[in-house]
Structure 1
Amino acid sequence: MDAFASEFAWIVWLVLILLFVTMEMVTLDLTFLMIAAGSVGGLASALIWAPWWLQLIIAAVVSMALLFGIRPPLLRVLRRGGDPARTNVDALLGMDGRVVSTVGTSGGQVRLANGETWTSRLSPGLDRQVVEPGERVLVTAIDGATAVVIPAERKPS
């Protein structure tokens, strides 16, 4: 059995490498890529006829070294060049708009600066109970499909 495991271990390592690379393509987190590289170490040791237990140790050590030594700085470098543009809900926070139908604590509608019309309600804890059509508001939060707004400060003339 031991001779059989040592003789055909390279096939197992190839299958594992393909499996880990495929999993990496789905997750894109560099974890499975590091484990696949550790499996390459196991494959290399299998090709020089190392016993199966030594192959496992080599694969584990290489994988751990890559996971804890190379992966963190590599992720920092990759994420450093991220897109600074805010998108989705983040892009709506702080956006101004105009009230379309009276906005109160229970509801209303606003047209935001990007042209979208949203169901909205006033932020709790305000002195005002309603904001009339035509007044400016600022989005402070998004609650599901509702924009939570506050009246915008009027600029002195």
Structure 2
Amino acid sequence: MNDIDAWVWWLVGAVALGIPLVVTAMPELGMLALGATAGAIAAGLGAGVTVQVLVFAAVSVALIAVVRPIAARQRAQRPQLATGVDALKGRQAVVLERVDGSGGRIKLAGEVWSARSLDTGSAYEVGQEVDVVEIEGATAIVM
């Protein structure tokens, strides 16, 4: 097997690793494909088989060791932009019908919501501004 054959085989290996990467979305396969590409470059530069394999292993392990923890941290972080019900928590609303521990109505984000007070002993009168603490189903909990 000559040098041209070696780098071609490394590129075939890189493509072979890239196809399941696209199908399974496993980033580790992409890192191995990049390692195989580095092995192809080493073969193209005339390195021996041992050096090619060492370059493949070193690049693959380095990428997995560096990129994987960064990706895991990014995946674990909550989105910066709150959406849906989470976006309504902490907003202010206006009381439309008296709100107490048993119920009432508020205008929240341009919509009419059923509401009840967080403290069952508290009541809020029409026109008062309240803060939304939580959303339980279709009911806003206010204070």
Query: In the superposition, relative to structure 1, how do residues 34 and 122 fare at CA in structure 2: closer, same or farther (>3 Å)?
Result: farther
2:98 aligns to what? 102
Percent identity between the two aligned chains: 31
1:121 pairs with 2:116: yes
Q: Which residue in the other structure is 2:138 paired with?
A: 145
TM-score (norm. length: structure 1): 0.55
Distance 2:20 2:40 in 1: 14
Aligned residue for 2:87? Answer: 91
Q: Which runs of 5 or more residues in structure 2 are unaligned?
A: 1-5
For 1:79-118, what per-residue CA distance to the aligned partner results, in whole angstroms no more than 9, with x for missing partners? xxxx966544443222111122333334332102x31222
SS for the counterpart of 2:131 is strand
User: 2:126 — aligned with what?
Assistant: 133
Give secondary structure in 2 for the equivalent of 1:15.
helix
Q: Unaligned stretches of 5+ in structure 1? A: 1-5, 151-157
The answer for the alignment partner of 2:3 in structure 1 is none
What is the alpha-carbon distance in structure 2 between the residues aligned to residue 140 and residue 110 of structure 1? 13
Contact 2:13 2:33 in 1 (8 A): no
The amino acid across from 2:37 in the alignment is V
Q: Deviations over 1:34-93 (max 9, x none)?
A: 343234235556777737xx74x65443222123335667999x9xxxx96654444322
Q: Residues 146 and 15 of structure 1: is their aligned pair in 2 closer, same or farther, counting only changes over 3 Å? A: farther
1:50 and 2:43 are equivalent in the alignment: no
- 1:19 alignment partner in structure 2: 20
Contact 1:10/1:46, CA 8 A, preserved across alignment:
no
Greater shift after overlay, 93-102 or 62-71?
62-71
1:66 maps onto 2:76 in alignment = no
Secondary structure of the 1:100 match is strand
CA RMSD of aligned residues (A): 4.1
| Distance (Å, rounded) in 2 between the aligned partners of 1:97 and 1:42 | 62
Q: 1:111, 1:117 within 8 Å by CA — same for their partners in 2?
A: yes
Figure out how many residues of one structure are paired with residues of the other and give that number. 130
